[in-house]
Amino acid sequence: MNYFVLLKMVPDTVEELEVGPDGKSLDNDRVRLKLSDTDEHALEQALLLKEKCGGRVTVVTLEAPEVDEALFTALAKGADRAVRLSIEQAKLGTVATAQVFVSFLTAGTATLAPATLILSGSQANDDLEGELAPYVAEALRLPYLGVVGGVSLKDGRNEALVLKEFSGGVRGEYELPLPAVLGVQAAEKPPRYVPVAKVRGFTKSGKIETASVRAPARPAVLEVNRMHKPEVAGRAQMLEGSAEEIAGRLADLLAERGII
Amino acid sequence: MSADILVLVEHFNGVLHEITFEMLGAARRLADATGGKVRALLIGQSVSGWAPQLGAADTVLLLEEDGLELPSAELALTLLQRLIEQKTATLVFLGGTNVAFGIGARLAARTGLPLVNFCRGARVENGGAVCTSALYGGKMLIDVRLPGSRGIVSVSPGSFPAEAGKSGRVPVVEKLPKPAVECRAVFRRLVEPAAGDIDIAKSDVLVSVGRGIQDKDNLPLAQELAEALGGAVSASRPVVDQGWLPLTRQVGKSGMTVKPKLYLALGISGAPEHQEGMRDSPLIIAINTDPKAPIFDIAHYGATVDLLDLIEPLKAAVEKKKVAQ
């Protein structure tokens, strides 16, 4: 089995975000990037499948600040191969990003081997143009499922049994022939932790391959008028004081409201 | 330029989703502003009974057949593509839900129409539609122009008033033939979460825990507080993903939507997917050490103390109050 995990660096929303000078995008000087949350889950799911069924995990990214750390971390977690494509992630919308990944996946090969699973996170926080995995699936004419919460591979057959999340905790079970593309919402286990020392070890001796691919025709598909911060309509009345004081105030409030 | 809008009616497991009406109301408003038409695309098994409720649309395009108990993405995709190519619509509204997930991007790829995701607002301006979308977990808004009002819009639940999409008017119903569709992702069955647990949607009080609970071993504290308040413990996604509580306790997009009299959010940051599941609760109290946590934008009351410092004093204060009454 060959697992390709497509990773994207996205703005870290723990930090305060500001609009940049062009009024249409983020202030890049102030943005810190991190690996998209669901991409972490996609990587974890690929590693779990490799542990259970064998195969090789290749992680692929575009060029971005701090991306090497994400790649070395993936190698430290158990990925077999890390590839960084020679195109800058910044300023590319999801459609163009998908085109870049597709160029890599199809380079030098007419069709993908049957025993191939392409995984990425179900949705990233900057997917204004839509999600990566379905665009990749359409370009490669492969079956696709998103909001994936579980994957297993059928023995001896190029087929995957996939759980998709709906609502109310209800999930749908699907069968997909391979090769296929999955947008992972949650791996079957939380993403594994690797000690910093282990990642440092890979930073010294691990190998990141670079690959040249054709630049996408258009960086963005949508016409942006402007980017702006939301006005917060309402805001909580904040209670101050010690935990005991706050506890007392809350108990009074709940009694007033007839909750207790 | 008139915007002819097509709304994909959203339903799951026998329930018509409110987002259908949110989208119909917004579509009606935009179509009226441009002299266009609104059509609702209704696909499924035993769904025609809902058609009379969709009168905010001029026409309901209906594909009803046995064997369609689960909405098939491929079927919706094929029909939507065909209708766009027949020029029945220039603008398509899809629910930003798990059910419709991925349809927008695939439709965009097949038709060449642009997709706008995370849409929270839409209006007509200078002959085209302008959508306002929320990026980075809601921390930034972006206004995107769709020239000629041509495009696909994924609408975030709770963005538009559902009331605007509810109409006493009875729409025209037009039956559609079922196209041949190749379904490579084959649906087998629905998997319900493990039974034998409580239904949090029926609880008047929810003590809901997030990452801030830090450790599985702290859960009994939340349980005792919940009992003192006559309620139950629920959780945000990270707690359930860790396996500390079952899926039936999860509040949010993939979990339950709840509206208890009291929603006490302990150590929950309030990501959009979580807010979707609880924001209509009449009384929301949020405890989070991060004063910038988005949960405070929708909470009625809040405090930045550590929940682990607050839980036991709060339980004691509540019990004391109950005795005094």
pLDDT in tens, B168-198: 999 999 999 999 898 899 999 999 988 767 8
Range B145-156 average pLDDT: 95
A147 → closest Cβ in B98, B298, B310: B98
Residues of B (22-61) whose Cβ lies below 8 Å from A: none
Q: What is the largest CA-CA distance in chain B?
A: 71
Return the ∠ at Cα B108 (arms to B104 and B112), rounded to 5°.
Answer: 165
SS3 B212: helix
Question: Which residue among B12, B140, B304 places its CB closest to the CB of A167?
Answer: B12
Window 16-75 of A, Cβ < 8 Å to B: 16-17, 19, 24, 26
Out of B109, B144, B256, the one facing A223 most closely (by C-beta) is: B144
B297 near A CB under 8 A: yes
Give per-residue pLDDT as tens, A26-66.
Answer: 998 889 999 999 999 999 999 999 999 999 999 999 999 99
Average pLDDT, chain B: 94
The β-bridge relationship of strands B11-12 and B15-16 is antiparallel
The structure tokens 């975030």 sit at B156
Q: Flag if A237 and B184 touch (Cβ within 8 Å).
A: no
Under DSSP, is residue A144 helix (H, G, I), strand (E, B) or coil? strand
Q: Which residues of chain A have pLDDT under 50?
A: none
In chain B, list all ranges with CATH 3.40.50.620: 5-175
Question: What residue spans in chain B does CATH classification 3.40.50.1220 cover?
Answer: 200-324
Q: Tell me the C-alpha distance between B108 and B115, whole Å.
A: 6
Which tens digits make up the pLDDT trace of B11-46? Answer: 998 999 999 999 999 999 999 999 999 999 999 999
- Set of chain B residues whose Cβ sits within 8 Å of the Cβ of A143: 184-185
By C-alpha distance, which of B173, B177, B175 is closest to B55?
B173
Q: Which sequence spans correspond to the domains of chain A?
A: 2-211
Look at the alpha carbons of B144, B148, B154, B159 in this order and tell me if their dihedral is positive or negative: positive
In CATH, the architecture of B5-175 is 3-Layer(aba) Sandwich (3.40)
Which residue, A116, A121, A122, is CA-closest to A160? A116
Query: Residue A243 is nearest to which of B104, B292, B305, comparing CB atoms?
Result: B305
Which of A38, A94, A246, A249 is the best substitution to test chain B (most B C-beta atoms within 10 A)? A246
Please tell me the pTM assigned to this model.
Answer: 0.94
Report the DSSP beta bridge partners of residue B174.
B61
* Cβ of residue B175 closer than 8 Å to a chain A Cβ: no
Q: What is the mean pLDDT of residues B210-215?
A: 95
- At residue B71 the predicted structure's pLDDT band, cuts being 50, 70 and 90, is low
- List pLDDT tens digits, range B97-133: 999 999 999 999 999 999 999 999 999 998 889 999 9
* Both tokens assigned to B175: 């039956």
Task: Name the class of domain B200-324.
Answer: alpha beta
Beta strands in B9-112 (DSSP E): 11-12, 15-16, 38-44, 59-64, 91-95
Tens of pLDDT, residues B281-308? 999 999 999 998 999 999 999 999 999 9
pLDDT given at position B212: 95
The pLDDT value given to residue A29:
83
A2-211, CATH topology level: Rossmann fold (3.40.50)
Q: Give me the interface pTM, i.e. the ipTM.
A: 0.95
Contact A82, A209 (CB under 8 A): yes
Instruction: Name the DSSP class of A212.
Output: -
Q: Which residues of A touch B305 (CB under 8 A)?
A: 242-243, 246
Taking one residue from A and the other from B, the number of pairs with CB-CB distance under 8 angstroms is 260
Instruction: Please report which confidence band the pLDDT of residue B69 belongs to, taking 50, 70 and 90 as the band edges.
Output: low
